[in-house]
Amino acid sequence: MPSIALQFLRSRIGKVCVAIIGNTPAEMLEKASAVIKETPFLEFRLDYLEKPLLAMPKLKQFIADNGAVTCIATCRRAANGGKFKGALAAQLEVLTKAAEVGFHIVDLELESAESLKKGDLQKLRETGVGIIISHHDFNATKDLDGIYKRIQPMEPDFIKIVPTAKTLTDNVTLMRFIERMDDHSNIVGVCMGDAGIISRVLGLRAGSAFTFAAATAGEETAPGQIAARTLIETYRIDQVDAATKVYGVAGNPIKSSLSPVMMNTAFRRETVNAVYLALQATKIADLLKLVNEIPIQGLSVTMPLKQEIMAHLEKTDPLSAKIGACNTVLRAQDGKLYGFNTDVAGIIGPLEKRISLRGAKVLVLGAGGAARAAVFGLRDKGAEVFILNRTPETAQKLAKQSGAKVIKKEALAKTPMDVIINATPIGMTGIKGAQLLEAKDLNTKLVFDLVYNPIETPLIRMARQQNIPIITGIEMFVQQGARQFEIWTGKPAPEEEMLKVVIHTLRQQAESAAAEAPPTPPATKSKKAS
């Protein structure tokens, strides 16, 4: 039975605890003051300070001035993934002092707790502070029950277990573990890593007492941590419940995908009780296991899985079957998975607004899932299609299947095109690789780059410089996403809102990238030899 003090503590904590970092107490308190307007549950990472004890008077004043705020003090040692270089006794001194100045909870990692002298933990408890005993595994998700058995005899107020998700189903392992616990009001569990986003959003539903978030993007205190505003506004974590349907975008890499912000905006706008997650999928078997375990109601499938997923679907629409690639999966009422292709609509729609495709000469760069959608969609409309791909064999196979032609790079300058479509990931944020075309190869009336992030890709920039009209990947991205939304929900998609949020997010990203870029050094005049 929890004590009255513990019941009071549990009643005042929120569902999202925001980690506050900074090199100085002033920097920390400035960030904390900005955050508490929206989220009054904070973790001060005292190990980020050079001399945490010197910060105590200012922290005491902050806690006294902000009575509604609940504060956790963490001073994680370097050996356990933190930044505190002091000995165990010094760590205990920092946490004890934090308790004395008014912190409501202190976080002590399991390894430190097991190394304490007999009675030290009890002395800390006698200050009246709540205690979290935490364990972080930065390498894997394994033996969660064993870790729990090590922590439980210490009788902390909260048991925090944070493994790393190496696979998507590691999240399921963690969430099933939390669900198994008799009293999970004192269990805090999330998975770290890019694949761990599932547990950060759905962990509360499984019974985690709360979850952690970064104050802002770029201030993460653990791999895969999400900014508080994103967790609350994009993922609507406060509203995720047992009835919330789960959707996601699956692929690799997935970090820079704007599908979550676009789709979650659409769900919110149309009052659909659903959440949409980024699923870093490296193996199809792992993805399919997750889809069945959660269960996931629908998927957007991106590279490199659009062709591979086909074999695992009950049935697909004729378009997907013809193309041999699917970008949309629906779990039907019978529980089986059905495939659709909305890429074609996303590519053909923007083109038909501008030109007649019958007899048009179109160059498609690439031969993967998106390229297949472009080639088959264009051939259906009566276009003459040419394919250029780094691997000629793949291009030849696609050309044979679709009735298109393969072209060599050397022939481009003397082969006028109506449209050039980039259906490769080259130019995408986070993807390195040389451009397939040079300026002299843009012998065309229109350039369409299916890459949408960034808005201004190298290919789009090159076309602009030559005054060639362009279509950015945003149009295709929003169009195909709108059709997915309609397949999943049966409601008309709020296309305008989807477009607005994608453009707004891309502009914000471009501004923050420009702000972080080092200034260009002024050109220096060459000195003449004297």
Active-site residues, by number, are 306
Q: Which residues contact 287 (CB under 8 A, 6 or more apart)?
A: 168, 250, 279, 281, 305
Residue 310: Cβ within 10 Å count:
18
CB crowding 460-475: b at 16 or more within 10 Å, else e: bebbeeeebebbbbbb
349 closest CA partner among 384, 374, 383: 374
CB 323 within 8 Å of CB 372:
yes
Residue with tokens 């105590």: 56
41 closest CA partner among 93, 98, 103: 103
CB 420 within 8 Å of CB 462:
no
Q: Which two tokens stand for residue 80?
A: 């356990």
CB 292 within 8 Å of CB 285:
no
- In this structure, what is the dihedral angle of CA atoms 416, 420, 425, 426, given to the nearest 10 degrees? 50
Distance CA 151, CA 133 (A): 7
296 closest CA partner among 333, 340, 247, 259: 247
Distance CA 2, CA 272 (A): 37
**SS3 at position 514:** helix
Distance CA 107, CA 57 (A): 20
Q: At 180, phi and psi to the nearest 5?
A: -70, -25
Pairing of strands 328-331, 298-301: antiparallel
175 closest CA partner among 145, 218, 205, 153: 205
CB 485 within 8 Å of CB 501:
no
Residue 12: Cβ within 10 Å count:
12
Look up residue 462 and give its amino acid. M
Cα of 469 vs its chain's centroid, Å: 33
Q: Is 230 exposed, middle or buried (0-12, 13-18, 19+ CB in 10 A)?
A: middle
Q: Where are the beta strands (DSSP E) in 121-270?
A: 130-136, 158-162, 187-189, 211-214, 245-251
**SS3 at position 328:** strand
316 closest CA partner among 385, 373, 366, 365: 373
